[in-house]
Chain A
Amino acid sequence: MLSNFGSILFFLIFGAVFVCVNILLSRLLQTRNPYPVKLSVYECGELPEGNSWIQFNIRFYVIALIFLIFEVEIVFLFPWAVVFKDLGMFAFVEMLIFVGILLVGLAYVWAKGDLEWDKPEQVPSPELYRTDNVNSAVKITESVAS
């Protein structure tokens, strides 16, 4: 018999093969008539404007960092929760302190306004949008895209 994780690996592989077989089957049955307009990227019927592989403003960067911290915390909490019944009061107080420190961190981030989607103070100054800067901005975008 395979081990428990062996059967999970088997399921992963089976799922991948299942999709591949389905796509292959569809490939054999379908009619194919590609032409350039059909193969262009969909942009509401307009001709696509530029490449979409550009630098992207990740608004949730700080949130991703907080996520990382809390995820690590949860990794610690899971084994604690399993043995919680046996350890009782001692483990509870200890975890209260541990979680408390992290909650202070969450409260700090909350008060700083990093959990807000709109960050008015971080909007780039109007200088950037002046006409003489547009060309350089376009150049940057093009160099990133290529």
Chain B
Amino acid sequence: MILPILNSEITFLQFLPFDLPEPLISIIFLLIGASIIAVVASVLALVGVYLERKISAHMQDRLGPMEVGPHGIAQTFADAIKLLIKEDIVPQDADKLLHFIAPVMVFAATLAAFAVLPFSKTLVVSDLNIGLLYIIAISSFVVIGAILAGWASNNKWSLLGGMRSAAQIVSFEIPASLAVLSVIMIVGSMNLGDIVEYQKGGFFNWIIFKYFPFNFIAFIIYFIASLAEVNRAPFDLPEAESELIAGFHTEYSGMKWAMFFLAEYANMFLVGVVASTLFLGGWSSPFGDFLNSGPFPVFWIFIKSFSLIFVQIWIRWTLPRVRVDQLMYVSWKVLTPFAFVAILGVGIWMVL
């Protein structure tokens, strides 16, 4: 673990009158780091909810939340407090243990994916050499929570939502993994830090512009597939409110529901960071060495991922929801062949 901010804490701990064993110190640092990231993920989710409501409102010529705080800034915090003191209703017939495990699983998997995201050269909790493979693996873990929630609720809508969620992940996992393959081919590493290092030195070095247009196609495919993986419109079939009430979380209320919601928005941010790391240069500055030190890498990654979140919100409030058969059509007959074309193109270009 490399967390430079906590280096000052190491010296702080050395002034303690007793010696702490080495594993304990690292666990303390991890605890601090994990708490910071959990809090950051939660705050980002709250910001995401606020942005979603505001942007959607302005797109529909409304104002959105305006009452709590200036321009409704504190609205989501008020909502969080409301959810905290809300009654937690578990249906009589539900499988109560699985009903409880489902939100735990969804949030834990989302948070675990945050562990490998590089926010700057050194600001990464776990600099895994197979970081990309790990992210693909752990982000499909979330769907098990969704199926579990759908099954445990003993509700027909939830069951259908969970099944749709499974169908969706089964279809969109393939194009998403194939789209990131060309990035690995170019960089020759699955370490997210190496991928960013490769793209340093201005926006013309970003992988999205390499071997044009193949990587551009790969980026578009990854973006569409990731929309489906985080259950965002137009692929929000598992929680389609006009067909399935709320899909797999129909029977959830209060804090458990809030955890699903938190995980969904944290996942949006996660997908934004991964897409910008792979294709848009990650934490490196778009202007070469200009503004590429100190706190600026974190600033750049946030700018890039929030632009992608904006596009996600934009798409949600622009496009209607697709049908299940259209979902399968898009995944297997459009995205997968095009992903193979992108890999083939990059491969031929690199070999020649």
Contact = CB atoms under 8 A, between A and B. Distances in A.
A59 B158 CA distance: 17
Interface stretch (B49-57, B274-282, B325-333): B325-333
Contacts of B38: 14-15, 18
A74 B259 contact: no
A33 B116 CA distance: 43
A40 B92 contact: yes
B181 A116 contact: no
Interface residues of B, number: 89
Contacts of A77: 178, 181
A41 B85 contact: no
Contacts of B325: 116-118
A16 B112 CA distance: 10
B174 A85 contact: no
Given A18-B111, A41-B93, A82 B85 contact: no
Q: What is the predominant secondary structure among interface residues of chain B facing chain A? A: helix
Interface string A11-42: 11111101110110111011111101011111
Contacts of A34: 87, 89
A82 B184 contact: yes
A71 B89 contact: no
Given A4-B127, A11-B112, A40-B91, A83 B188 contact: yes
B332 A39 contact: no
Nearest to B22: A1
A39 B254 contact: no
A77 B346 CA distance: 14
Contacts of A117: 324-325, 328
Q: What is the predominant secondary structure among interface residues of chain A facing chain B? A: helix
Nearest to B189: A82
Contact of B332 (A19, A25, A63, A82): A63
A14 B111 contact: yes
B154 A51 contact: yes
B115 A11 contact: yes
Contacts of A1: 1, 22, 26
- In the A-B complex, the 9 residue pairs with the closest CB atoms: A117-B325, A15-B108, A15-B111, A26-B255, A81-B184, A14-B34, A39-B92, A11-B115, A16-B108
Interface of B: 1, 22-23, 26-27, 30-31, 33-35, 37-38, 83-94, 100, 103-105, 107-112, 114-116, 125-129, 133-134, 151, 153-159, 163, 166-167, 170-171, 173-174, 177-178, 181-182, 184-185, 188-190, 245, 250-251, 254-256, 258-259, 324-325, 328-329, 332-333, 336, 340, 344, 347-348, 350-351
28 contacts: A2-B26, A2-B27, A11-B112, A11-B115, A13-B108, A14-B31, A14-B38, A15-B107, A20-B104, A30-B84, A34-B89, A60-B328, A63-B170, A67-B171, A67-B173, A71-B174, A74-B178, A78-B133, A81-B182, A82-B190, A83-B188, A84-B188, A89-B351, A92-B348, A96-B344, A110-B333, A116-B328, A117-B328
Interface of A: 1-2, 4-5, 7-8, 10-16, 18-20, 22-23, 25-27, 29-34, 36, 38-44, 48, 51-53, 56, 58-60, 63-64, 66-67, 70-71, 74, 77-78, 81-86, 88-89, 92, 95-96, 99, 103, 106, 110, 115-118
